[in-house]
């Protein structure tokens, strides 16, 4: 059993998988949820930690935490509306490794006292903020683990954009957890690229027929990018197939140049593919290549979020091959978006060799430049999974 914060600091995106029977905003989610069985299932499915609701408004009790503790070895977060030292001690005695402290309900003096007590008891605290003011308070209080909630607890409305802005603002020396509203790999990846160390996922898992399988799906890598999209119907095919990233080539001279970044569903992130300099567009990410004389683009590129590099694009030279391509990709540190000649027939071999963060295909999925073959798109996503 490890400390909560330590588990979330591990490389890659972690998940705090939640057990809650009901939600004030959504009503009953899984009234018959067995916290022991779910905690064990989450542990098998790759969760970094589990969050156990102990408040009756969510259908939870302290016995749920005790049951989860007996069944699983992963760190446990006790989640409720805690405001006293007695609450923290009760959580520790019931088996919690961490407690939730809601800045919305606590003043700085109380929060500081409870943080100190948790540390003295060998526990962590997830200090939760909902806006910029609360984030600033959490930082000033020295909270090592900060949760940034996308849900307004007064209206229950989800604002992922505001959450991602807060995640990006949070100091990188803190453990940052993006909470609420994570329903897809793309949404989890958006939090990861903004700077989150982990996501807390509750309702999505509780509604799933198989919570463990859903958790594994959210955490699975590589992400899959279908690039060179020029038509809304092809975006729809890529989304239906399960692709996570939709690429729109904005570079002049490309045979699959799009007229612009098309709308994508919430299950996908849009990527504007540019050469030389980013084109101002409404994309979630930018894939930027250098210019190269006589060619549409240079060889390798970078993936940018709000102008900040978040991954390395390892590609083939334009219209050329390179036998050392996968070896080069394997040597790159950090997140790798692997592109260049990938197809349904070879993507699994490439994944096994490189273990990339994402894979990217365009020309090998086409009937003609800019026009996708739906069957090849589906086959590529299946093979990459």
Same domain as 128, residue 272: no
Would the pLDDT of 80 be above 80? yes
> Which pTM was predicted?
0.93
Domain end residue (candidates: 164, 198, 219):
219
Same domain as 232, residue 201: no
Residue 210 pLDDT:
96
Same domain as 31, residue 111: yes
Domain end residue (candidates: 163, 195, 219):
219
Would the pLDDT of 51 be above 90? yes
Active-site annotation, residues: 18, 20, 79, 128, 149, 179-180
Residue 367 pLDDT:
95
Angle at which helices 211-219 and 35-44 pack, to 10 degrees? Answer: 30
Would the pLDDT of 194 be above 70? yes
128-157 confidence digits (pLDDT tens): 999 999 999 999 999 999 999 977 666 677
Would the pLDDT of 256 be above 90? yes
Paired tokens of 20: 């809650």
More confident residue, 49 or 319: 49
Same domain as 278, residue 214: no
Mean pLDDT on 264-285: 93
Share of the chain above pLDDT 70, in %: 98
Same domain as 331, residue 261: yes
Same domain as 257, residue 273: yes
Same domain as 241, residue 99: no
Would the pLDDT of 261 be above 50? yes
Binning pLDDT at 50, 70 and 90, where does residue 100 land? very high
Q: Measured between alpha carbons, how far is 356 from 365 in angstroms, rounded to an integer?
A: 20
Binning pLDDT at 50, 70 and 90, where does residue 1 land? very low
Q: Measured between alpha carbons, how far is 215 from 45 in angstroms, rounded to an integer?
A: 7
Same domain as 42, residue 110: yes
200-244 confidence digits (pLDDT tens): 999 999 999 999 999 999 999 999 999 999 999 999 999 999 999
Same domain as 264, residue 229: yes
Chain Cα centroid distance, residue 92: 29
Residue 24 pLDDT:
77
Same domain as 232, residue 207: no
Same domain as 26, residue 161: yes
Residue 370 pLDDT:
92
More confident residue, 26 or 69: 69
Least confident of 105-114, 157-166, 193-202, 373-382: 157-166
Share of the chain above pLDDT 90, in %: 89
E strand spans, 187-244: 198-201, 223-226
Domain count along the chain? 2
Domain end residue (candidates: 176, 195, 219):
219
Instruction: Give the per-residue SS3 of the chain.
Output: CCCHHHHHCCCCCEEEEEECCEECCCEECCCCCCHHHHHHHHHHCCCCEEEEECCHHHCCCHHHHHHHHHHCCCCEEEECCCCCHHHHHHHHHCCCCEEEEECCCCCHHHHHHHHHHHHHCCCEEEEEECCHHHHHHHHHCCCCEEEEECECCCCCCECHHHHHHHHHHCCCCCEEEEECCCCCHHHHHHHHHHCCCEEEECHHHHHCCCHHHHHHHHHCCCEEEECCCCCHHHHHHHHHHCCCEEEEECCCCCCCECCCCCCCCCCCEEEEEEECCCCCCCCCEEEEECCECCECCCCCEEEEECCEEEEEEECCCCCCCCCCHHHHHHCCCCCEEECCCCCCCCHHHHHHHHCCCEEEECHHHEEECCEECHHHHHHHHHHHC
Q: What are phi and psi of 313, to 5 degrees?
A: -95, 115
Determine the structural domain holding residue 341 and report its residue range: 223-384
Same domain as 363, residue 261: yes
Q: What is the CATH number of the domain that holds 133?
A: 3.20.20.70
Least confident of 1-15, 29-43, 59-73, 94-108: 1-15
């Amino acid at each position: 059993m490890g400390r909560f914060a330590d588990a979330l600091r591990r490389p890659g995106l972690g998940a705090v998988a939640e057990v809650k029977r009901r939600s004030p905003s959504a009503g009953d989610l899984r009234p018959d949820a067995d916290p022991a069985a779910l905690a064990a299932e989450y542990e098998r499915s790759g969760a970094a930690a589990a969050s156990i609701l102990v408040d009756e408004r969510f259908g939870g009790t302290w016995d749920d935490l005790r049951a989860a503790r007996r069944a699983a070895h992963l760190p446990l977060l006790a989640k409720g509306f805690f405001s006293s030292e007695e609450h923290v001690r009760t959580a520790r005695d019931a088996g919690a490794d961490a407690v939730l402290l809601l800045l919305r309900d606590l003043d700085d003096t109380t929060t500081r006292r409870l943080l100190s007590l948790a540390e003295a008891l060998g526990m962590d605290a997830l200090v939760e903020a909902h806006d910029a003011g609360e984030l600033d308070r959490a930082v000033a209080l020295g909270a090592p683990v900060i949760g940034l909630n996308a849900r307004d607890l007064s209206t229950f409305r989800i604002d992922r954009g505001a959450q991602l802005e807060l995640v990006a603002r949070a100091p990188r020396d803190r453990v940052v957890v993006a909470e609420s509203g994570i329903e897809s790999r793309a949404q989890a990846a958006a939090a990861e690229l903004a700077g989150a160390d982990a996501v807390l996922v509750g309702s999505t898992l509780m509604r799933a027929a198989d919570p463990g399988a859903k958790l594994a799906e959210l955490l699975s890598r590589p992400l899959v990018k279908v690039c060179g999209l020029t038509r809304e119907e092809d975006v729809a095919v890529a989304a239906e197939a399960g692709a996570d990233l939709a690429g729109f080539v904005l570079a002049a001279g490309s045979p699959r140049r799009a007229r612009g970044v098309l709308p994508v569903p919430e299950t996908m992130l849009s990527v504007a593919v540019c050469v030389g300099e980013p084109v101002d567009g409404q994309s979630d990410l930018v894939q930027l290549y250098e210019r190269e004389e006589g060619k549409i683009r240079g060889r390798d590129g970078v993936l940018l979020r709000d102008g900040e590099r978040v991954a390395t694009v390892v590609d083939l030279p334009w219209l050329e091959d390179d036998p050392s391509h996968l070896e080069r990709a394997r040597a790159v540190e950090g997140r790798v978006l692997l592109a260049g000649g990938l197809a349904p027939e070879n993507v699994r071999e490439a994944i096994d060799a490189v273990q990339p963060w994402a894979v990217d295909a365009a020309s090998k999925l086409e009937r003609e430049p800019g026009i996708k073959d739906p069957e090849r798109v589906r086959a590529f996503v299946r093979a990459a999974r």
